[in-house]
């Protein structure tokens, strides 16, 4: 089987992204499973190689067709947007703009079917905004540049999958944004995504908004009855195996026990906190509903340790593996990359 081409975006180069990419691509197993290419800045990647002490060669290229995909050599589609002495751990408009440009190029390549999936290193939202790109994060950029209306963030960790109805908004805004149509669409996305991943009948559980899922009106102002229950009933009528709303304080435990394949969380921290408790180093962020595959590390730019060579690459490794798993099975074969190259 042809190994999929995974485009790895560098993220904010003032953070740990370049270091964890180098550490991950030092693993020979990655090259046995896929054909990785970094989309970023070659001189920054070379600096990261020196910092972590990896015995790898960084190979700048201008076109993806010239990549060689050989372990020991990191192909870097070099956009050459940054100075070699870019400071570590500082919010930079230049780094924020570059992070956007790296992702923009990756999306173009994925839409043209020149890469099979995108795996993103973290960006810094403040730097992104200073660079002139007013998005809450990766997910919203991906949605806009692929003209996607219905999408959601899914997090995976050992023994747990979580998909979100709302993400990067304040809690009061999140409650206002939750409505039956949005909840239903996220349930349907969860069902579709897990079926594509090989789970024939995904078991889906939906969180309540209030403590104890409102407890029949005791807590809140009837949000569960107004916003959640109609969506669950609609999904059940369509044959989706879904239950809820259920109290979040016990639901995540039940999911890790194996009662459910995925949990629908109502807002950012409701879903993120359990995943990160289970293992920040192994968490992966997957954007579902897009016409392209995108996975990401589930941590930030870690400015406080950038440039020290101590950042953990485990989340990046797992994000690459998830991208491989989700990539189309008829992986890209560009000119000169026939079956003899796999």
CATH classification at residue 159: 3.40.718.10
pLDDT at 280: 61
Cβ distance 17 to 10 under 8 Å?
yes
Q: For residues 17 and 80, state if they share a domain.
A: yes
pLDDT at 340: 29
120 φ, ψ to 5°? -110, 135
Q: Which of 251, 269, 289 is the last residue of a domain?
A: 289
Secondary structure (3-state) at 89: coil
CA atoms of 63 and 78, how far apart (whole Å): 9
pLDDT at 2: 80
Q: For residues 102 and 240, state if they share a domain.
A: no
Q: For residues 197 and 138, state if they share a domain.
A: no
Q: How many domains does the chain have?
A: 2
Distance of CA 218 to CAs 184, 210, 221, 245, 285, Å? 24, 10, 8, 15, 34
Q: For residues 248 and 321, state if they share a domain.
A: no
Question: How are beta strands 35-40 and 152-157 bridged, if at all?
Answer: unpaired
Render the burial of 250-267: b for 16+ CB within 10 Å, e for the rest.
Answer: ebbeebbeeebbbbbbbb
Q: What does the pLDDT look like over 291-308, one tens digit per residue? A: 999 999 988 999 999 999
Render the burial of 192-220: b for 16+ CB within 10 Å, e for the rest.
Answer: ebbeeeeeeebbbbbbbbbebbbeeeeeb
Q: For residues 169 and 271, state if they share a domain.
A: yes
Q: For residues 203 and 81, state if they share a domain.
A: no
Q: For residues 300 and 191, state if they share a domain.
A: no
Q: For residues 133 and 159, state if they share a domain.
A: no
Give one word for 84, left, alpha or beta, with left for phi > 0 and alpha for psi -120 to 50. Answer: alpha
* 224 CB neighbour count, 10 Å cutoff: 26
> For the chain, which ranges sit under pLDDT 50?
334-342
Which residue reads 């000119």 in tokens? 335
Q: Which of 245, 261, 289 is the last residue of a domain?
A: 289
* Paired tokens of 279: 């293992």
Nearest alpha carbon to residue 305 among 88, 109, 148, 157: 88
CA atoms of 49 and 32, how far apart (whole Å): 21
Q: For residues 170 and 267, state if they share a domain.
A: yes
Cβ distance 99 to 131 under 8 Å?
yes
* Rounded (to 5) percent helix, strand, coil in the chain: 45, 15, 40
Q: For residues 143 and 225, state if they share a domain.
A: no
Q: For residues 274 and 335, state if they share a domain.
A: no
Q: Which domain holds residue 112?
A: 1-148+290-342
pLDDT at 215: 72
Q: For residues 218 and 280, state if they share a domain.
A: yes
Cβ distance 190 to 202 under 8 Å?
yes
């Amino acid at each position: 089987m042809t190994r999929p081409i995974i485009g790895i975006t560098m993220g904010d180069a003032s953070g740990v992204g370049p270091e964890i990419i180098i550490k991950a691509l030092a693993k020979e197993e990655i090259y046995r499973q896929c054909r990785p290419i970094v989309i970023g800045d070659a001189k920054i990647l070379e600096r990261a190689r020196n910092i972590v002490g990896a015995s790898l060669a960084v190979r700048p290229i201008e076109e993806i067709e010239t990549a060689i995909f050989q372990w020991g050599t990191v192909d870097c589609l070099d956009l050459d947007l940054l100075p070699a002495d870019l400071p570590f751990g500082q919010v930079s408009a230049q780094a924020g703009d570059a992070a956007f440009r790296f992702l923009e190029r990756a999306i173009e390549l994925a839409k043209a079917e020149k890469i099979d999936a995108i795996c993103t290193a973290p960006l810094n939202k403040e730097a992104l905004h200073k660079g002139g790109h007013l998005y809450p994060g990766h997910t919203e950029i991906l949605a806009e540049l692929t003209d996607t209306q219905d999408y959601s963030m899914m997090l995976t960790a050992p023994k747990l999958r979580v998909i979100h109805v709302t993400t990067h908004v304040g809690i009061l805004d999140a409650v206002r944004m939750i409505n039956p149509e949005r909840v239903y669409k996220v349930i349907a996305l969860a069902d579709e995504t897990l079926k594509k991943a090989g789970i024939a009948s995904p078991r889906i559980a939906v969180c309540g908004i209030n403590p104890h899922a409102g407890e029949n009106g005791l807590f809140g102002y009837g949000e569960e009855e107004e916003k959640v229950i109609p969506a669950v009933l609609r999904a059940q009528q369509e044959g989706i195996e879904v239950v809820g709303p259920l109290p979040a304080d016990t639901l995540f435990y039940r999911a890790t026990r194996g009662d459910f394949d995925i949990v629908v969380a109502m807002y950012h921290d409701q879903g993120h906190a359990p995943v990160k408790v289970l293992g920040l180093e192994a968490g992966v962020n997957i954007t579902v509903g897009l016409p392209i595959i995108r996975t990401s590390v589930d941590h930030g730019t870690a400015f406080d340790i950038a440039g020290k060579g101590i950042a953990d690459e485990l989340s990046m490794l797992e994000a690459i593996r998830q991208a491989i798993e989700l990539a189309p099975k008829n992986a890209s074969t560009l000119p000169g990359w026939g079956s003899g190259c796999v």
